[in-house]
Chain A
Amino acid sequence: MPEIDSGDTAWVLMSIALVLFMVPGLAFFYAGMVRSKNVLGMLMQNFFSLGLVSVLWVLLGFSLAFGEDLGGGFVGALDFVGLAGLGEIPGLEGALTIPPIAFVAFQMMFAVITPALITGAIADRMKFAAWVVFLAVWSVLVYAPVAHWVFSPGGWLFQRGALDFAGGTVVHINAGVAALALIVVLGRRRGWPGEAMPPHSLPLTLLGTGILWFGWFGFNAGSALGANGLAAQALINTHIAAAAGMCGWLLVERIKDGKATTLGGASGAVAGLVAITPCAGFVNTMSALAIGAVAGAVCFLAIQLKYRLRYDDSLDVVAVHLVGGIIGSVLLGVFADAGVNDAAPDGLLFGGNAELLVNQFIAVGATLAFSGILSLVLAKVIDLAIGLRVDEDDEAQGLDTTQHAETAYSFGDVRSLGRVA
């Protein structure tokens, strides 16, 4: 057994809590953007990932992602089902300075938040029951294998030398393309894009953004798996990319639409955070600034895609997470700096080395293909079996009352009259 370091362990335990807090952060980021009749529906699609995926992770997901490779680097074996016999993590023997169970918990939070990212695309129209089935199957059949490919030392992309510090491919591209596949089957909201569907509470969205930003320090700096210089570098990279993302988005928005909006500021910060995720522990601070700024500007422009191609990505999961994830994963091949982290080779800019860039493209392409196709099939099967969408009346009435029998906002005396049945 390697030496357990108390400082490293303390930081990772802290990071687990930080990443956990991103789930309500994301929930409120999204919930502020939907209409008031769908707030609870949105919050619950996110929150329930904490319930369901956590359970599936300890039962099955962790073993598929980080168990002994079954061959070919595709998926882990079932030897850690129920966390039975959890010893050292295969491929990380002697490398971890934290207890393996802390590693399990840290990775669990990644498994929880990744499918939650998808919910922004499907807002206002998906049956809760259909979402639960998608969530369960996707986290086991799609998330766990992709996590194995990239994060497990036995995974084929890891072996190739593709890099992903905290989840550009595994988290953001994976969720982003799954969101696209799911809405292709699910269809548009009735009335979109002609009917106005404005956010009901941007203050909630801004609050959610702040929580996400805060939690992202655990996501990225925690991925150093130690309390050390690399974690500090990842932390400042994370912060600067978010800041530059906000500036980049607002600058382009101001030029194009005439106003710098609060939703734009929040969205730009998140775009910067997404793009820096794969790069956080592999690039220097100025590279992080560039990556964040590019992501902010490009993700803003990418929003127009849904109007051109007529898919209703309601809260822009594709434009922010898929496009942002691709920007970060590809730019890592350009900006990787062995001076920051000697576990990685130099990229195009610092070493004139295109090999990493090629590997990054392979990782992006493989994630897009695998997650995209499996998600499409899964969505189609669920649609045929139980139906993905709520019916027309329920969609008009909203998810809160029809899916959960509750109302988010109960203001005024008249609203609270009534008798117990």
Chain B
Amino acid sequence: MKLVTAIVKPFKLDEVRDVLKGMGVEGMTITEVQGFGRQRGQTEVYRGAEYTVNFVPKVRLEVLLSADAVDGIVEAIVEAARTGKIGDGKIWVTDVEGVTRIRTGEKGSDAL
């Protein structure tokens, strides 16, 4: 089993969700996060004082998948979240040792 973690632009979240749902993904977790990458922060001005905001808001989404589904899902996220402009985000995949569904106690791929 794999955990796919993607950092995407907040306004792209709905598109990503729709695509993944259409591909049979059963659930995901999202978190509002802030950070920086190659995209620089933005500048704000308050009564003439300029502030650089170093961390820009993003959404982190996490999806648990069986290993064979990973490549297709990553491609789908890339497709849905891309604007072509700097700051589109990143996706990484990690191994997951085990998964348990709390309600039933099911384990492994049954719990996905």
- State the A residues within 8 Å of B (CB): 193, 196, 198-199, 253, 256-259, 261, 263-264, 267, 300, 303-304, 316
CB contacts (< 8 Å) of B51 on chain A: these are 196, 198
Residues of B39-58 contacting chain A, CB below 8 A: 44-53
List the 6 closest pairs (A to B, CB-CB), nearest first.
Answer: A196-B51, A303-B47, A257-B45, A303-B48, A198-B51, A263-B46
In the complex, what distance in Å separates the CA atom of A257 from the CA atom of B49?
A: 9
- Ordered by A's residue number, 6 sampled pairs between the chains whose C-beta atoms are within 8 Å are A198-B46, A256-B48, A261-B46, A300-B47, A300-B48, A304-B48
Let me know if A263 and B47 touch, CB within 8 A: yes
Q: Most chain-A CB neighbours within 10 Å: which of B47, B50, B51, B52?
A: B47
CB contacts (< 8 Å) of A198 on chain B: these are 44, 46, 51
Closest CB-CB distance, A203 to chain B, in whole Å?
14
In the complex, what distance in Å separates the CA atom of A22 from the CA atom of B37?
A: 45
Closest CB-CB distance, B46 to chain A, in whole Å?
6
CB contacts (< 8 Å) of B48 on chain A: these are 253, 256-257, 300, 303-304
CB contacts (< 8 Å) of B46 on chain A: these are 198-199, 261, 263
Interface of B is mostly: strand
CB contacts (< 8 Å) of A256 on chain B: these are 48
CB contacts (< 8 Å) of B52 on chain A: these are 196
Closest CB-CB distance, A51 to chain B, in whole Å?
30
Bits for B48-86, please: 1 = Cβ < 8 Å to A, else 0. Answer: 111111000000000000000000000000000000000
Closest CB-CB distance, A259 to chain B, in whole Å?
6
In the complex, what distance in Å separates the CA atom of A199 from the CA atom of B45?
A: 10
In the complex, what distance in Å separates the CA atom of A303 from the CA atom of B50?
A: 13
In the complex, what distance in Å separates the CA atom of A261 from the CA atom of B48?
A: 10
CB contacts (< 8 Å) of B53 on chain A: these are 196
Least CB separation from A199: chain B residue: B46
CB contacts (< 8 Å) of A196 on chain B: these are 51-53
In the complex, what distance in Å separates the CA atom of A296 from the CA atom of B6?
A: 48
CB contacts (< 8 Å) of B44 on chain A: these are 198
Picked from A193, A261, A300, A316, the residue with its CB within 8 Å of the CB of B45 is A261
In the complex, what distance in Å separates the CA atom of A316 from the CA atom of B48?
A: 12
In the complex, what distance in Å separates the CA atom of A245 from the CA atom of B54?
A: 33
Q: Known contacts A198-B46, A198-B51, A304-B48; can you find 18 more A-B pairs with CB under 8 A?
A: A193-B49, A196-B51, A196-B52, A196-B53, A198-B44, A253-B48, A257-B45, A257-B48, A259-B45, A261-B45, A261-B46, A263-B46, A263-B47, A264-B47, A300-B48, A303-B47, A303-B48, A316-B47
CB contacts (< 8 Å) of A264 on chain B: these are 47
In the complex, what distance in Å separates the CA atom of A134 from the CA atom of B73?
A: 64
Closest CB-CB distance, B36 to chain A, in whole Å?
15
Closest CB-CB distance, B50 to chain A, in whole Å?
8
In the complex, what distance in Å separates the CA atom of A316 from the CA atom of B49?
A: 12
Let me know if B45 and A267 touch, CB within 8 A: no
Closest CB-CB distance, A266 to chain B, in whole Å?
10
Q: Most chain-A CB neighbours within 10 Å: which of B45, B48, B52, B53?
A: B48
Closest CB-CB distance, A14 to chain B, in whole Å?
34
CB contacts (< 8 Å) of A193 on chain B: these are 49
Least CB separation from B50: chain A residue: A257
Closest CB-CB distance, B49 to chain A, in whole Å?
8
In the complex, what distance in Å separates the CA atom of A263 from the CA atom of B48?
A: 10
Closest CB-CB distance, B34 to chain A, in whole Å?
14
Q: Most chain-A CB neighbours within 10 Å: which of B44, B49, B51?
A: B49
In the complex, what distance in Å separates the CA atom of A193 from the CA atom of B44?
A: 15
In the complex, what distance in Å separates the CA atom of A256 from the CA atom of B51?
A: 16
CB contacts (< 8 Å) of A263 on chain B: these are 46-47
CB contacts (< 8 Å) of A316 on chain B: these are 47
In the complex, what distance in Å separates the CA atom of A257 from the CA atom of B52?
A: 15
Least CB separation from B52: chain A residue: A196
Q: Most chain-A CB neighbours within 10 Å: which of B44, B45, B51, B53?
A: B45
CB contacts (< 8 Å) of A259 on chain B: these are 45
Closest CB-CB distance, A356 to chain B, in whole Å?
33
In the complex, what distance in Å separates the CA atom of A303 from the CA atom of B45?
A: 13
Closest CB-CB distance, A403 to chain B, in whole Å?
24
